Amino acid sequence: MSRYERRALVASNTPPARAAEAELADMGEWVSVEDADVIIALGGDGFMLQTLHAMLEPRKPPVPVFGMNLGTVGFLMNEWRHHGLGDRLERAKPFKVIPLSMTAIGVDGRTHTLPAINEVSFLRETRQTANLEVTVNDRIVLPELACDGILVATPAGSTAYNLSAHGPILPLGSGMIALTPISPFRPRRWRGAILPDKARIGIRVLDPGKRPVSAVADQREIRDVARVDICMDRARELTLLFDPEHALDDRITMEQFVA
């Protein structure tokens, strides 16, 4: 009997993903996401993040997700093929992904708690640079960082926005997170840090009235924040499935050699 007998099929709204969904729909019996042992996700990386975030809502424990790329980059996806899905699932290699938890306190005093699978980013809202205080485990490590922003990235997200901001690529299982500035002005020579994933990171806006800042957990934004606290949320572990020849850890490693 298959490990993944009850399968749910979800797809993005793009024409290629919808066409692939229609093709697979006639090739087997599908169940709802709530009743599934595994989810087959058709789309791009953005849709994969959307699918994973839906499983972080307070419902039953998350189930593994096997994605097939019908988008642009597809870093978190496998190759699209309409045949041999059962065999691919049996051979698939699982990878655990631990999301970040962001707690943002607004200038208005309201508190917002959001998960992030790739990264939490802190961004200036106006032409004025952001002035930020950065703490690690309640210790002030940067009394004043003048920049366009700063982000905290997981290993799974280290090849996304973090890499574009010249942050380090983190291997899966490294037990590390990246703290990467975005266009830092002062201190000029600070280019970021690699921290143990047990670290608690705090970012405080020094002048939120004159220099407003927003906080973004993957794609969800909270504007006009006064402070953000970030840590790994080990109680909400997610599982991605990959073809052995297309495994996520190898893809992340090889990104270090892309010219």
Binding-site residues, in ranges, read 45-46, 118-119, 148, 156, 159-164
Residue 45 designated active-site: yes
Backbone angles phi, psi at 182, to 5 degrees: -115, 115
d(CA 106, CA 222): 8
- What is the β-pairing status of strands 100-106 and 111-116? antiparallel
Catalytic site residue from 45, 87, 218, 229: 45
Cis omega (within 30 of 0) for bond into 208: no
d(CA 102, CA 236): 13
d(CA 9, CA 184): 43
Cα dihedral 153, 156, 159, 163, rounded to 10, equals 10
- Would you list which residues are annotated within the binding site for NAD(+)? 45-46, 118-119, 148, 156, 159-164
List residues with catalytic annotation.
45
